[in-house]
Amino acid sequence: MSNVYLLEAKMEFLKSARMKAYSLSTILFPCMFYIFFGLAMAPQEPKGFMPMARYLLATYGAFGVMGATLFAFGVGLAVERGLGWMQVKRASPMPPAAYFLAKGAVALGFAAIVVALLFSLGALAGNVRMPVSQWLAMGATLIAGAVPFCALGLAIGNLAGPNSAPAAVNMIYLPMSFCGGLWIPFDFLPHTLQRIAPFLPSFHFSQIALAVLGAHTQGSVAGHAGALAGFTLIFAAIAWAAHLRDREKMFG
């Protein structure tokens, strides 16, 4: 049985790697932002503030992980639903969980690649220096933080159509990243956005990653973790309800 899960994950990875619109954009987009704002803009960083190359490793790491998971689940699932691939999967002897676990494994795999590239840029070009344990802790935090966004991607993938899914993901992903303080430090956001940010999972995700760095954060790590757990349950419930609605339409 384990071979089925491994084979499905392997095929899903190969498919995603060959889709340049997903693989290249998922990997290059956060790295490009980090180069522009974390490295090129470093000489203009405010005095007394943590070096921008180090601070933005956490926030753009969160940004990259969110993109890898939202596009893998949100767009991937919506497209495959539209093609009728889900009906084929249900008719096959493959365990239903294998499909979703494979997508999750691939999303986390691409997220890990993004994090590794950002860390390399920070260490080599941004002169970021940290103990190995801190690098590992931040990497583990960023990868673990993908879970709520996998659930959000599932909700989008079950609600959106194959043509509207990319736009739907971008309309959620980009504003949520900016308003959550992922593109620029939270302290520099307009006051109105600072009041909105706590209602966004991106804010809580980035605050936990920044806490690992030792940066100034809002609230406690336990509070942010609890908020992310709550968002995960909400998104999973929406995804399940949308999935049941689809099954009723198909078999009703």
| pTM beyond cutoff 0.85 | yes
* Better-predicted residue by pLDDT, 244 or 206: 206
Average pLDDT over residues 134-139: 95
| Contacts of 132 by beta carbon, 8 Å cutoff, 6+ apart | none
Q: 81 near 246, Cβ under 8 Å?
A: yes
Average pLDDT over residues 195-224: 94
Residue 135 Cα to chain centre, angstroms: 19
First-to-last C-alpha distance (Å) of the chain: 31
Residues listed for the chain: 252
Q: Per-residue pLDDT for 144 more than 60?
A: yes
